[in-house]
Amino acid sequence: MSTEQVLRPGTGQDPGAGRHFEDFAVGQRFTSAYRPVTAADLADFTRISGDDHPLHAGPDGILQGPFGVAIAMGLLQSLGLHGPAVLGLLDTHWSYRHPLRVGDEVRLELVIIRCRRTRRGDRGVVTRHMTLVGRDGTVVQEGTTSAMVAARNAGPDPVAPDPVHRAFGTVSWGEALVERLAPGFAESLATWDGTIGLRAGEHEVHLRIYRGRVIEVSRRAATGATFTVEADELTWLELVTAPANEFTRFAMTGRFGTRGDGYEYLRLTAALHLLVDAARDLGTQHPAGERA
Amino acid sequence: MRADYLEIGGALAFVEQHGPEDGIPLLCLHTAGQSGVQWRGCSAGLAERGYRVVVPDLPGHGRSEPARGGPVTDLGTYAQWCLELVEALGLQRPYVAGCSIGGKITLDLACRASDRLAGVVAMAADAWTGGRPGERGLRRELSDVAAASRTDRTYLGTLAVVGRSVPRERAELIATMHRREDPAVSTSDLIGWTTHDLRDALAGVTCPAHLVVGADDLWLDAEAVRWAAGRIPGARCTVLSGIGHYPMEEIEGFAAVLDGWLRALAGTSAPQPEEVAAP
């Protein structure tokens, strides 16, 4: 479940002018209008950046990579999400998938993938997965950006909707996950002694397990994880919102990776499937749109 | 239906036959580690349509005895075994349909014995996997055939490659039945799958050929299947939307579908479009 909004720049549709930290929720999606890339763009960006490598010249010239980031931020402005509550941009992690040329048209597709209130409580970090997509559906560039956004009040966040249900890889998410585990989880790990790591982006939580019982949920178990299962936040989001538990499909296609003891990872195939069931149960309890 | 134990390659082979003895002979080959039971949903329907349907369990699979030399790691050995079976049953220019390793054995048969075949339908198979999955990993798994959670991985791995259009109950039945395997045999089959390279032999195929791949099949790249079809003179290629790695188990009413493909190969019906949706 997610909200999908298509907004055009300059039409006065500006529902986000007053958007504060509390108004964002993991899973919200936004899509901009298409933006053409012009010869003037290439000339201007070459002049400003000073990057006049031959790749960026001539009728078939490729726009400089950071041009994509720049217009992504511009298209973000057109969505009206960045009102006065935005205090600053924190980071950008970006990949260039396909060249961007004069005459192309791209739009911004944005998904909120993490909302984390800071310790001070009066603000929070909102991380967005941003994709520039061509008319034919080609992903031209994509990445994540995080912004510091002022909160309307100092929190704590209301119990319902529960703010941890899609806080993938955090300790509170891990604790909520453990509460939702099916009985089969303990049965399948009745002889096991080890630690399962679950990682989403930079966040990792360890489930310390002894004879089927989760005896600790922490950022790091005393002797580390036996193995860790990992993916970026967007992949976790897609996993928990897919119509069925497709963990095996995701793992087979490399969308989930693993590090640590590969043998124990394989041994826990059934248990991991049940963990994902619990994550899906948790992740779809409170549709993101309800929070906005 | 009749079933026999026939001595093929020095060991007893379990072979089902459906339909009239003077019907159009059709040999149906199963996937890695599995058995002829995968064709149970369509063998009677094919018999009704006039085929003499022959469904063997490959050596070491189902109710057949193990191959004399132990688990087979060369799909060419299975192809040779199939020719011996064709000989033993006196099948005159049979059609061959197979899936996964069965599809690749089917392609191999077309490469080595086109003159003895009426045509082939090779499903879920390309000419060369590009070495994936890796042989080294498979051999490691072979040295520990009880490797961690083998049966769960077979079950969930099957579910992951069944097409999205297949109802949940049917998908689970397919996956549950796939748990019935001898890991030593199915892992050896996969070594055969990943090392068998037919690329250079495709141009020599002279019998009619139809390559079929499911759009949801994670094991296959539809482009690689198209490439293989493009190398075989006059071959057709079909991509089934919503279908995965096991068309004969996934598609309801598959007998009619396969019959249509075989008629098209025989030239008794109009050629079909390259891309079709599963019925």
Q: Please give the residue of chain A at the shortest CA–CA distance from B163.
A: A249
Is A13 a member of any domain? Answer: yes
pLDDT at B269 over 70: no
Verify whether the Cβ–Cβ distance B160 to A270 is below 8 Å: no
Residue A158 counted as domain residue: no
The confidence score (pLDDT) of residue B29 equals 98
Q: Cα separation of B197 and B129, whole Å? A: 8
CATH for B122: 3.40.50.1820
Q: CA–CA separation, B92 vs B159, rounded Å?
A: 38
CATH, residue A256 = 3.30.1050.10
Distance CA A163, CA A112 (A): 13
The confidence band for A155, taking pLDDT boundaries of 50, 70 and 90, is low
In angstroms, what separates the C-alpha of A38 from chain B's closest C-alpha?
A: 35
- Are residues A191 and A130 part of one domain? no
Check CB contact under 8 Å for B149 and A273. Answer: no
The 10s digit of each residue's pLDDT in B151-168 is 999 999 999 999 999 999
Q: Look at residue A159 and tell me if it is in a domain.
A: no
- Calculate mean pLDDT across residues B132-144: 91
The helix (run of H) or strand (run of E) holding residue B161 is helix B150-161
User: B198 φ, ψ to 5°?
Assistant: -105, 5
Inside any domain, residue A122: yes
**Helical (H) or strand (E) element with B187:** helix B183-195
Angle between helices A233-241 and A269-283 (to 10 degrees): 80
The reply to whether residue A244 touches residue B168, judged by beta carbons under 8 angstroms, is yes
Return the beta strands (E) in A16-138 as ranges. Answer: 29-32, 35-36, 86-96, 105-117, 123-134
A246 vs B272, higher pLDDT: A246
Per-residue pLDDT for A160 more than 90? no
The C-alpha atoms of residue A45 and residue B52 are separated, in whole angstroms, by: 71
Indicate if A111 and A217 belong to the same structural domain: no
pLDDT at B270 over 70: no
User: What range defines the domain where residue B47 resides?
Assistant: 2-277
Would A254 be classed as within a structural domain? Answer: yes
Cβ-based contacts of A189 with chain B (< 8 Å): none
Domain with residue A66: its CATH number is 3.10.129.10
Residue A153 pLDDT exceeds 90: no
A21: domain range? 4-150
Q: For residues A3 and A28, is the Cβ–Cβ distance under 8 A?
A: yes
Q: Are A51 and A81 within one domain?
A: yes
> Residue B65: helix, strand or coil by DSSP?
coil
Do the domain assignments include residue A163? no
Please answer yes or no on whether A266 and B149 come within 8 Å at the CB atom.
yes
CB atoms within 10 A of CB B177: 17
- Strands, E, within chain B: which ranges? 2-8, 11-18, 24-29, 51-56, 95-99, 119-123, 209-214, 236-241, 275-277
What pLDDT, on the 0 to 100 scale, is given for residue B143?
A: 86
- Give how many domains chain B has, as a whole number: 1
Closest CA to B219 of B150, B276, B163, B179: B163
- In this prediction, residues B216-221 reach a mean pLDDT of 96
The predicted model gives A231-249 an average pLDDT of 96
Contact B121, B141 (CB under 8 A): no
> Tell me: the pLDDT tens digits for A83-127?
889 999 999 999 999 999 999 999 999 999 999 999 888 999 999
Asked if A275 and A185 count as a contact pair (C-beta separation under 8 A), the reply is: yes
* Per-residue H/E/C for A219-276: CCCCCCCCEEEEECHHHHHHHHHCCCCCHHHHHHCCCCEEEECHHHHHHCHHHHHHHH
Residues A125 and A28 in one domain: yes
CB pairs under 8 A between A and B: 34
In a domain, A51, yes or no: yes
3-state secondary structure B68-88: CCCCCCCHHHHHHHHHHHHHH
Compute the distance between CA of residue B169 and CA of residue A288 in angstroms, rounded to an integer.
31
**pLDDT tens, position by position, A168-185:** 999 999 999 999 999 999
Tokens 């906005």 belong to residue: A292
Indicate whether A135 and A184 sit together in one domain: no
CA-nearest residue to A266 within chain B is: B148
The whole-angstrom separation of Cα A230 and Cα A177 is: 16
With respect to residue A224, please indicate whether it lies within any of the assigned structural domains: yes
Model ipTM?
0.79
Same domain, A221 and A282: yes
Angle CA(A48)–CA(A52)–CA(A56) in degrees, nearest 5? 105
Q: Are residues A114 and A176 in the same domain?
A: no
* A204 in Cβ contact with A169 (< 8 Å): yes
Give the pLDDT confidence of B219-259 residue by residue, as tens digits. 999 999 999 999 999 999 999 999 999 999 999 999 999 99
| Number of domains comprising chain A | 2
What residues pair up with A35 in beta bridges, in sequence order? A106
pTM greater than the 0.90 cutoff: no
DSSP string, A142-180: EEEEEEEEE-SS--PPPSSS-TTTT-TTSHHHHHHHHHT
A144 and A246, same domain (yes or no) = no
Q: Residues with Cβ < 8 Å from A198, sequence gap 6 or more?
A: A168, A169, A174, A177, A204, A205, A207, A228, A229, A230, A275
Please write the tens of the pLDDT for every residue from B48-91. 999 999 999 999 999 999 999 999 999 999 999 999 999 999 99
